[in-house]
Amino acid sequence: KAGVTQTPRYLIKTRGQQVTLSCSPISGHRSVSWYQQTPGQGLQFLFEYFSETQRNKGNFPGRFSGRQFSNSRSEMNVSTLELGDSALYLCASSHLPLGAGTNEKLLFGSGTQLSVL
């Protein structure tokens, strides 16, 4: 069974540009959640999609957006990049939505390391 796949693995952008990251969940999983990980702030929840609908969004500016397709693959977009957006962006997939089941296993991808210069 293939794991959660994130592409690209590494990305270098300059300030003001925009970026799109992709996440392919485990086959059959309909929930995809996104996280930002930085040395200073740790792992922070960005948003979750379930069956193509955004269920929750964390405390991030509107420059951060996402979507989910009918095959459950998800993309997140960051517009007008800032230096502080440099981070490891992780996605995770699960069968049920977050909070729906206490024994639900969340599986993470290896992340996309974004550097903004």
Partner 1 sequence: TQLLEQSPQFLSIQEGENLTVYCNSSSVFSSLQWYRQEPGEGPVLLVTVVTGGEVKKLKRLTFQFGDARKDSSLHITAAQPGDTGLYLCAGPNAGNMLTFGGGTRLMVKP
Residues in Cβ contact with 69 at an 8 Å cutoff, skipping those fewer than 6 apart: 52, 75
Q: 58-87 burial, b for 16+ CB within 10 Å, e for fewer?
A: eebeeebbbebeeebbbbbebeebeeebbb
Shorter beta-carbon distance to partner 1: residue 20 or 56: 56
Q: How far is the CB of 16 from partner 1 (least distance, A)?
A: 28
Shorter beta-carbon distance to partner 1: residue 20 or 58: 58
CB 60 within 8 A of CB 46: yes
Closest alpha carbon to 33 in 9, 8, 6: 6
Shorter beta-carbon distance to partner 1: residue 95 or 108: 108
Q: How far is the CB of 15 from partner 1 (least distance, A)?
A: 25
Interaction site with partner 1 (CB under 8 A): 4, 33, 35, 42-45, 48, 55-56, 58, 90, 92, 97-100, 102-103, 105-111
Shorter beta-carbon distance to partner 1: residue 13 or 57: 57
Residue the block writes with tokens 């007008």 = 80
